[in-house]
């Protein structure tokens, strides 16, 4: 792995991630892939993950008390760590317990009561715990403004109706942050986010989808049928929703997530490149100039994608706009990673058709990197609109 411009603490964290990935993550990911099913909640991997301090929130607690892990981690450092973890198994990374994707939303606009209530259990979890964010619907994927799940005020609470799909970890989550709309015809301004806790009447119909890759974690569809939540479960309270705050906060989640997906893709591409080099060396393919040229091209493109990804993180660390850079990183890295795994499959030849080589698994896994957090096509639309000066 290329390590440059990082301090001693970051190097130590990367070494820890590498050791954990090699000893625990890759074996767990290969197990899930062979079984074609997500790791079950009681899998020993999750217990080990929590025992070693994983699955915790960044929220410092109700009194901002000192914590041994309270030193803030830069976005760039986080991207480097997530790249390394994805090198070993990206599906397991997503399956890991923790407050997950919605944590940033709660930290950004959640009330203090909501932080204590929903993030508090993740301060020192007594068991593997999960939370998740539910935006995607059967009729609203990359166009997040088109969601149809409805929220209707009812006395001192809200009634939610709708369907969500491809939500990571929904059936095992302690709570789901559900994006809904007060009026589908009103567009982004009508969107709100609600905490829906496990066991809430009307929350059900969980179906874990079968996937060709990233099998270690569950992608779940579910429904909300006259699902009632209290007023206290509206993220941030009513006052927070001036000026499209609900939609903007959701989009900030994706702007933060796109460099993460890019970092994941780079890590997966690195793994495929290393495996392809090893295979080529073992089978004396490196004597062929064409093979060497293509391997060099993959290494060069992965380096390029990595630098663009870190640029997006560098801007985020300085609280500077990074929407375009995040889209560039995501679109570029996903494509390069797919190209690298495809080259690996080409080098494997008939060996790749057996279905038992890591490159074949990576070839299936990496396709999702072009889809999740906004498809590559959508990223290119965002970049193009900025290029010609249209509103984002």
DSSP string, 187-220: GGGGEEEEEEETT-TTEEEEEEPP-SS-TTS-EE
Cross-strand partners of 230: 157
For the chain, the domains span 246-388
**Tens digit of each residue's pLDDT (9 = 90 or more) over 180-235:** 999 988 888 899 999 999 999 999 999 999 999 999 999 999 999 999 999 999 99
Q: Work out the average pLDDT over 343-362.
A: 94
Query: Catalytic pick from 218, 275, 325, 373?
Result: 373
* Alpha-carbon gap, residue 87 to 105, rounded angstroms: 27
Q: Are 223 and 134 in contact (CB under 8 A)?
A: no
CA neighbor of 4 nearest in space, from 313, 303, 319, 330 = 303
DSSP 234: B
User: What's the CATH fold of domain 246-388?
Assistant: Butyryl-CoA Dehydrogenase, subunit A; domain 3 (1.20.140)
With a pLDDT cut of 70, the percent of the chain lying above it is: 92
What is the pLDDT, as a whole number, of residue 143?
Answer: 79
320, burial (CB in 10 Å: exposed 0-12, middle 13-18, buried 19+): exposed
> How many Cβ atoms sit within 10 Å of the Cβ of residue 7?
10
Helices assigned H by DSSP within 36-160: 44-51, 75-95, 103-109, 112-114
What is the pLDDT, as a whole number, of residue 66?
Answer: 46
* Cβ-Cβ contacts under 8 Å for 88 (sequence gap 6 or more): 18, 20, 21, 22, 25, 26, 29, 271
**Tens digit of each residue's pLDDT (9 = 90 or more) over 126-149:** 999 999 999 999 998 777 788 999
C-alpha angle 94-99-105 in degrees, rounded to nearest 5? 110
197 is catalytic: no
């Amino acid at each position: 792995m290329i390590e440059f411009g990082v301090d001693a603490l970051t190097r130590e964290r990367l070494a820890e991630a590498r050791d954990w990935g090699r000893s625990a993550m890759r074996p767990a990911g290969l197990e899930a892939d062979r079984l074609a099913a997500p790791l079950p909640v009681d899998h020993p991997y999750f217990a080990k993950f929590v025992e070693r301090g994983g699955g915790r929130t960044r929220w410092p607690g109700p009194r901002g008390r000192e914590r041994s892990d309270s030193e803030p981690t830069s976005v760039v450092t986080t991207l480097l760590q997530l790249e390394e973890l994805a090198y070993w198994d990206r599906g397991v990374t997503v399956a890991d317990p923790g407050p997950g994707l919605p944590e940033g939303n709660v930290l950004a606009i959640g009330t203090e009561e909501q932080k204590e209530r929903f993030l508090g259990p993740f301060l020192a979890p007594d068991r593997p715990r999960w939370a998740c964010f539910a935006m995607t619907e059967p009729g609203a994927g990359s166009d997040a403004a088109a969601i149809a799940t409805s929220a209707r005020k009812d006395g001192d609470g809200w009634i939610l109706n709708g369907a969500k799909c491809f939500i990571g970890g929904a059936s095992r989550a302690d709570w789901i942050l559900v994006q809904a709309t007060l009026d589908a015809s009103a567009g982004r301004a009508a969107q709100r986010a609600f905490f829906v806790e496990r066991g809430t009447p009307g929350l059900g119909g969980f179906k874990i989808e079968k996937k060709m890759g990233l099998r270690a974690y569950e992608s779940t569809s579910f429904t909300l049928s006259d699902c009632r939540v209290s007023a206290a479960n509206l993220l941030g309270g009513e006052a927070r929703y001036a000026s499209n705050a609900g939609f903007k906060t959701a989009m900030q989640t994706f702007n933060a997530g796109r460099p993460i997906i890019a970092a994941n893709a780079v890590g997966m591409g690195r793994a495929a490149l290393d495996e392809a080099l090893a295979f080529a060396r073992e089978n004396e393919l490196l004597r062929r100039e064409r093979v060497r040229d293509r391997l060099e091209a993959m290494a060069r493109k992965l380096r390029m994608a990595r630098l663009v990804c870190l640029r997006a993180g560098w801007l985020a660390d300085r609280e500077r706009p990074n929407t375009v850079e995040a889209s560039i990183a995501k679109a570029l890295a996903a494509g390069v990673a797919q190209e690298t795994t495809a080259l690996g499959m080409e080098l494997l030849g008939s060996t790749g058709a057996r279905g038992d080589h890591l490159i074949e698994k990576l070839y299936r896994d990496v396709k999702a990197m072009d889809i999740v957090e906004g498809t590559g096509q959508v990223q290119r639309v965002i970049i193009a609109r900025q290029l010609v000066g249209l509103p984002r």
